[in-house]
Amino acid sequence: MTDPNPYPKAVYGRNANSPDVLIIGAGISGLCTAIDMIKSGQGRNFVIVEKSNQVGGTWNDNIYPGCCCDVLSHLYSYSFEPNCEWTREYSGQEEIQGYLIGVAHKYQLYRHIRFSSAVDEARWDDKNNKWQTKIKRIGGKEAEIGDFYTVSSDFLVSAVGQLNEPHYPNLPNINAFNGKVMHSARWDWDYGLQGKRVGIIGTGATAAQIIPEIRPQCSQLVVFQRTPAWVMPRHDHPISGTRQAIYKYIYFARRRYRAGLMDFRESVFDAAFDPTSTKHSTVSNVSQSHLHSQLTGDRYTSLSEKLTPKYPFSCKRIIVSDDYYPALAQPNVFLETTAISEVTPTGITMANGTHHELDCIILATGFRTTKFLYPIRIYGSGGHSLSDAWEKGASAYLGITVPSLPNFGILYGPNTNLAYNSLILQIEAQSLYINALIRVVLDSKRKDKTLILVPKKEIVDQYNLEVQERLGKSTYADPRCTSWFKDEFGRITTNWCGSAVDYQERVKYVDWSDYNILGSAAMEVERKGKTNWRRRVEETQVSDRELVVSAAGLLVCMTAAAWWLWGSG
């Protein structure tokens, strides 16, 4: 997948700061949008700005011990760029980032990417019908060439996602601690944990990956838990060279395997979403059995009550792990479930007066998931601020477009997260939708015409009312748990309200009547009615039985034909 010319000519010259499209973020979403733009024949006049020093997004930022994906490898990759060489069923951070780097090289995206470039502000220019995006250079070059510069573009794409800004908990006196404090998303590998007394705050998916990795190094590891998580078995193991070869040389086998993974994950939707479903009871029992099988004897007696959730399955993010429970049962690990009172210079004091002496505090407290696009300031038509519009909670049409933000699209925006399947399924669908918007804007520009697209507010409001009504009946809305699915008002602004296929079907076309369309090319676009494209079908379309029967029939026909030809000769 490596580009034979890894350093192609960069996008400079007269279009350097006036591309057709500006994409914010070089993670999975940003790369996908750029690739779809290239593949659809819309040219390469785009720029990607990335605040980090490499592609990968969350897989570049999160480098903590044990960092890995909880979606199976062959489903956590682009449908148009399968990787036959995944080494494990669940890939780690380095392998996933390596895959994304390879994809970026293959499509020569590095020539379009400006690293160490953080977007400070984006403002729509009503006079010129363009986005003026203010970008800050970071990483030491600002002293040489200035702190900021501005990029002018016809279309603006946000591909920053929901998992980019760490959430720092409000711990009393945290600055008084004399030891080391670090967030899991900002891991300091120069700090050694060997022989240290370590406290880790949080018991979500990140903590469940870190704890088994660092436990052997620590003299003592205190795990501070607010509420226990539901944990499902992982069944991770290496992928053999034989299987890799099969996936590489037998396209149908690889395609079929991925479809099977898609089917399995989609089948979990009812269990994750509907607390009254039979599947919900089934998976809850599987999780409980997993707890019982991994903790035995005295450790089960002492830990089972602390680790049994008092809220429905999938109300919070599910942990997928085979080594989390065994790690908690080790003698140098203590599970603390009392509320934290304050941080002291030497450790953490609990509400019951217990004090834990610590050398290091790890904050495995996740991200500011409901603060979409933070800390970027965005101003739409008429100077209206997006932060003001989203003051009572973020919302968007299909999670992609926003009233008052012309010629603008978001990937992994409000209410598009999947709690049970691969997010890449959503991202690919969103990228195709956004590229349909980009196409009509750029086609108009090539004809020396103008085009401004803004979703109608009444359509957006109606759509989000439907989404919230469906989410209100879901497990995610249960008041017995707090999670990063909800904002400060208790409104679910992260998760989608249906299956992945439901979403793909919803965004496989643009209905132009959903938009206020302005400019000299408006009537031409309005006459289109709808723009459709074929969605990328991932699920199984032919049953195993039909497949076997068809293969057997084909074999019989080929054998008969061979005999006939042999007899004729």
User: Same domain for 286 and 179?
Assistant: yes
| Closest C-alpha among 504, 508, 509, 496 to residue 538 | 504
Q: Which among 363, 387, 411 is the end of a domain?
A: 363
Q: Residue 2 falls within a domain, yes or no?
A: no
What confidence category does residue 551 fall into, taking pLDDT thresholds of 50, 70 and 90?
low
Q: Residue 403 falls within a domain, yes or no?
A: yes
String of DSSP letters for 309-339: -SS-TTSSPPEE-SSHHHHHTSTTEEEE-SP
Q: Residue 375 falls within a domain, yes or no?
A: yes
Residue 491 pLDDT > 70: yes
Q: Residue 3 falls within a domain, yes or no?
A: no
Give the dihedral sign, CA 55/58/64/67: negative
For residue 141, give both structure tokens.
Answer: 């070059």
- CA distance linking residue 241 with residue 61, whole number of Å: 30
Using CA atoms in the order 34, 35, 36, 40, what is the torsion angle rounded to 10 degrees? 110
Residue 7 pLDDT > 70: no
Q: Which among 340, 363, 386 is the end of a domain?
A: 363
User: Same domain for 373 and 357?
Assistant: no
For residue 243, give both structure tokens.
Answer: 């299987």
Q: Residue 537 falls within a domain, yes or no?
A: no
User: Same domain for 514 and 481?
Assistant: yes
Q: Which among 328, 363, 398 is the end of a domain?
A: 363
Number of domains in the chain: 3
Q: Residue 7 falls within a domain, yes or no?
A: no
What confidence category does residue 533 fall into, taking pLDDT thresholds of 50, 70 and 90?
confident
User: Same domain for 342 and 405?
Assistant: no
User: Same domain for 325 and 391?
Assistant: no
Q: What's the rounded mean pLDDT across residues 122-151?
A: 85
pLDDT value at residue 159: 97
Which pLDDT tens digit goes with each residue over 15-40? 579 999 999 999 999 999 999 999 99
User: Same domain for 144 and 184?
Assistant: no
- CA distance linking residue 329 with residue 303, whole number of Å: 8
pTM summary value:
0.91
User: Same domain for 528 and 431?
Assistant: yes
CATH number for the domain that contains residue 202: 3.50.50.60
pLDDT value at residue 566: 72
User: Same domain for 407 and 524?
Assistant: yes
Cα separations in angstroms, 259 against 70, 256, 342, 432, 542:
17, 5, 50, 20, 10
User: Same domain for 424 and 494?
Assistant: yes
- CA distance linking residue 303 with residue 361, whole number of Å: 22
User: Same domain for 377 and 266?
Assistant: no
User: Same domain for 257 and 391?
Assistant: no
For residue 18, give both structure tokens.
Answer: 């006036």
Residue 452: domain span: 13-164+369-532
Q: What's the rounded mean pLDDT across residues 508-519?
A: 98
Q: How many CB atoms lie within 10 A of CB 445?
A: 16
User: What is the average pLDDT value for the chain, to the nearest integer?
Assistant: 91
**Position with higher pLDDT, 372 vs 74:** 74
Strand pairing partners for 531?
Answer: 510
Residue 3 pLDDT > 60: no
Q: Residue 8 falls within a domain, yes or no?
A: no
For residue 247, give both structure tokens.
Answer: 């996936």
Cα angle 253, 255, 259 (rounded to 5 degrees) comes to: 115
Q: What's the rounded mean pLDDT across residues 468-484?
A: 91
Q: Are 55 and 109 in contact (CB under 8 A)?
A: yes
User: Same domain for 233 and 315?
Assistant: yes
pLDDT value at residue 539: 80
